[in-house]
Amino acid sequence: FTSASSSTYVKNGKKFAISYGTGSATGFLGQDTIRFGTELTDLTVPKCTFGQATSIAPFFKNQVIDGILGLAFQSIADDNVKPPFIEAIDQKLVALPLFTVWLEHEGAQEN
């Protein structure tokens, strides 16, 4: 994510710090439009607040990931930030408060 490339990005200025079972992250909050899916089946959620990490635990540094997207409950979020899917529900962008995840195996690696 490159905030300077977004015409809808707003820097919040608040700092965040969150711990996971495998490490932690710190940074600052920002707000932008988040899109799930593809152009044909997308869910576009404007005005989502999210954390932008400036420091991550060593565990995450060697992981092949672009980031971590919180999809849990607002009550366990740092600074009570509303998760993007809860924001979509509140904005009445989805018919039901339900989402699924499809995980597909890729590559020759086992386990």
pTM beyond 0.85: the answer is no
What's the pLDDT at 21?
80
Query: Which H/E stretch holds residue 85?
Result: helix 84-90
Instruction: Please state, as a whole number, how many other Cβ atoms lie within 10 Å of the Cβ of residue 68.
Output: 15
pLDDT of 68-84, one tens digit each?
Answer: 777 778 888 878 889 99
Which stretch of 19-28, 45-54, 82-91, 99-108 has the lowest confidence by average pLDDT? 99-108
For residue 63, pLDDT over 70 is answered with yes
Per-residue b or e along 47-66, where b marks 16 or more CB atoms closer than 10 Å to that residue's CB: ebbbbbbeebeeebeeeeee
Average pLDDT of every residue of the chain: 86
Q: CATH code for 3-90?
A: 2.40.70.10
For residue 90, pLDDT over 70 is answered with yes
